[in-house]
Amino acid sequence: MLSLLLILTACSSNADIHETRFIMGTLVEFTIAGSEQSRSDLAISEAAAEMQRIEDAFTIYGDVKNAVKAFNASPAGMPMELPVEVARLLTTSLLVQQQSHGAFHPALGTLNLLWGFSGQPTPSHHPSDSAIIQAIPSRLCIRHADNNTWLRINNRCRLDFGAIAKGYAIDRGMDILKKHGIRNAIINAGGDIRLIGSHSGQAWRIGLRHPRNKGQVLGTLALSGDISIVTSGDYERYFIQDGKRYHHILDPQNGWPATASQSATVIADRAALADAWSTALFVQGAAGLNDLQKKGYAAMAVDQAGKMHFNKAMQSIFLPAGKTQQ
């Protein structure tokens, strides 16, 4: 559960600074290379606080009060003003929904609450057919009224930023590390990663988790610069009922866990986009790879049979497990 992508330790040196915090329901690992301890400590503390703030601002669970929950409780059809930050992430989410032909849906909160995957404990039984049908959101669910004012079309439409907020938090965390002058770092939030710079002059090596064999990797990627890599997988939150796996990534068309993939990985400049698109690609399966190629995002999907599918951009950088770099 903890590390969905593994940062390979082989390339770590003693000079690296590692810190782990529990944020957004997962262990967030900060790795900083080539920077003094005091500067790194301060940067990590501030980044972690900002990531916690974002979790509190976007979650629709727990006791914390926020504008997203208030919006979800607002009367359907009545415009309500959203904070600029929420409106901005909503706009990005709606664009991904449109461009993924509905595979990504930012307002399936009612459906997600029904399944219960985001609460504790993990559910053990699927909801009834009729309950699912009644919770499926229509494609057009949230409407922009004007400026920062938005409205819900009906009561099935409840914002759920679960598939993008973690990536956004990582982006904000990395902005803060950069502001403190950090040049080489990784933020890894349970497999959702943004990295900058390099490690002792060499690319960071990132392992992609095997969706079925815990502790094994499918392959590795050597990445440097300023880039994000995010994986969505059916092994993150799931239960087995009558021999069948039910997991937390839902197909907005039919309301059931999406069946095209075991995992999907997307590389993009910003972690929010890699996060949203990895969820979308998971739902679309290999059929979504080409569109991502056109957007310039490297991507791969592991289908239900465990077969890996790559777009060209990913094919050219993916090093399968067992092979060594030339």
Neighbours of 226 (CB within 10 A): 13
**For the chain, how far is it from start to end, CA to CA, in angstroms?**
32
Q: Does 96 bind Mg ion (CB under 5 A)?
A: no
Which listed residue (232, 261, 284, 311) binds ligand AMP by CB under 6 A? 232
Name the DSSP class of 11.
G
d(CA 2, CA 9): 16
Name the DSSP class of 203.
-
Contact of residue 249 among Mg ion, ligand AMP, none (CB under 5-8 Å per partner type): ligand AMP
Q: Does 279 bind ligand AMP (CB under 6 A)?
A: yes
Q: Which stretch binds Mg ion (CB under 5 A): 48-56, 158-166, 172-180, 302-310?
A: 158-166
The helix/strand/coil state of 108 is strand
One-letter amino acid for residue 240 of the chain? I
Nearest to residue 198, comparing CAs of 36, 5, 13, 28?
13
Q: Kindly tell me which of 24 and 163 has the beta carbon lying closer to Mg ion.
A: 163
Closest approach, Cβ 82 to ligand AMP, in A, equals: 18
Q: Does 275 bind ligand AMP (CB under 6 A)?
A: yes
Which listed residue (261, 279, 284, 311) binds Mg ion by CB under 5 A? 279
Q: Does 118 bind ligand AMP (CB under 6 A)?
A: yes
Q: Does 90 bind ligand AMP (CB under 6 A)?
A: no
Which listed residue (16, 160, 234, 275) binds Mg ion by CB under 5 A? 275
Q: Does 270 bind ligand AMP (CB under 6 A)?
A: no
Q: By CB under 6 A, what part of segment 98-117 binds ligand AMP?
A: 104-105, 108, 112, 117
The DSSP element (H or E) to which 23 belongs, if any, is strand 17-23
CA geometry: angle at 319 spanning 316 and 323, to 5°?
135
Q: Does 160 bind ligand AMP (CB under 6 A)?
A: yes
d(CA 202, CA 74): 51
d(CA 154, CA 24): 28
Which listed residue (17, 51, 163, 260) binds ligand AMP by CB under 6 A? 163
| Residue numbers at the binding site for ligand AMP (CB under 6 A) | 104-105, 108, 112, 117-118, 160, 162-163, 232, 236, 248-250, 252, 275, 279, 283
